Structure 1
Amino acid sequence: KIERQWSKWSQDIIPALLQPYMMLMEETQSLRNTSHLQNSQLCKGCKNGRLIYISCVFFNKIDKLAICTCSDPALQLMSRGLFPCAPSFPTLAVDLQMLDFVQELFVNAAPNLTAWCNTLEGF
């Protein structure tokens, strides 16, 4: 199961997300202007797919999002600035700004609060 999941991520999902990710970075000025992303329309159910419910983690909240599987859930999530936590039918997605922040935090990691403060100031 783990090998199949790795294969799905590395051969299907990640390559498919590269172009939408680059377009998202351009449209949002590297995630600086993401206000319009939450208003984008997604299919909320049709005869070609089924609804899945995804918990979306943001800095200040966790939202529940319903999307249809008529098109790839990973691509639908990326179009809203979210990264899926599973390759096929994700139940959790994380905001790209949050992932960016956590990456910066680990770059500045130190054994005290200096890392947290430097990351927060730099972000």
Structure 2
Amino acid sequence: VPTLVMPFLQWCEETKYGHVSCPPPAPLTCMCQIPARNVRVLAVYRECIKEHNLMYCNCQPLLLTLLGLGLFPGSPVRPTFTFDINHLLWASTFFLNGIPNVTAWTSALTAYLAQKGYDVPSLESLRKPFSKALQYFQLTQQRSNELMCTVVEAYR
């Protein structure tokens, strides 16, 4: 999570905290001389599910590539599911003001996406990655806020 704080703050700045779409990612320019790897991830948005085939390497880690697309991983290592950061922001706000029931949330999301005609993974296969993504996302948000408070205090 600590490595995600600065890229997350960069995403916040570039998208005005989710109000503007992410700019298209720059093509992978590898400096580490290690062949790039390809990974297939399912990106879960509030309105759809999309499959992404992404390239990454040691100098451009997968987590940074995902954040550049406005996605947050369901696992810090080899994620198969990713979630739209705006969706996680909405869920975080909802859970602050209501009962944090991840099972009900993912059940409603899978039912909604299935009604829209998407080939939705099973509830159980989506629940755990969503729960982990939300947990890591909230921790990243907290660490980002702490960093910003530290910077502001240093300049007072």
Q: Is the 8 A contact 1:77 1:83 kept in 2?
A: yes
CA contact (8 A) 2:41 2:79 kept: yes
Q: Which runs of 5+ in 1 are unaligned?
A: 1-13, 111-123
Secondary structure (helix, strand or coil) at the match of 2:83 reads: strand
The answer to whether the 8 Å contact 1:73/1:90 transfers is no
Query: Does residue 40 in structure 1 map to residue 29 in structure 2?
Result: no
Match of 1:60 in 2: 47
Comparing both chains, which one has the higher relative contact order based on Cα–Cα distances under 8 Å and sequence gaps of 6 or more?
Answer: 2
Letter in 2 for 1:16: T
**Root-mean-square deviation (CA), in Å?**
1.9
Runs of 4+ aligned structure 1 residues displaced above 3 Å come to: none
Which residue of structure 2 aligns with residue 27 of structure 1?
Answer: 14
Whether the 8 Å CA contact 2:56–2:65 is kept in 1: the answer is no
Identity over aligned pairs, percent: 25
Higher helix share: 2
Distance 1:42 1:65, change over 3 A: farther
TM-score by length of 1: 0.68
Residue 83, structure 1, aligned to residue 68, structure 2: no
Alignment TM-score, normalising by the size of structure 2: 0.54
2: CA distance between counterparts of 1:42 and 1:84? 20
Matched, 1:49 2:7: no
Cα deviation, residue 42, structure 1: 4.5
* Secondary structure at the counterpart of residue 2 of structure 2: helix
> Structure 2 vs 1, CA of residues 42 and 59 (structure 1 numbering), >3 Å: closer, same or farther?
farther
Give the deviation of 1:15 after TM superposition.
1.3
Task: Indicate if the aligned counterparts of 1:25 and 1:31 stay in contact, CA closer than 8 A.
Answer: yes
Q: C-alpha offsets along residues 12-64 of structure 1, whole Å, 9 cap, x if unaligned?
A: xx111111110110111111111x44x32454xxx712211000011100000
Name the SS of the counterpart of 2:17 in structure 1: coil
Match in the other structure for 1:9: none
**Is the partner of 1:59 in helix, strand or coil?**
coil
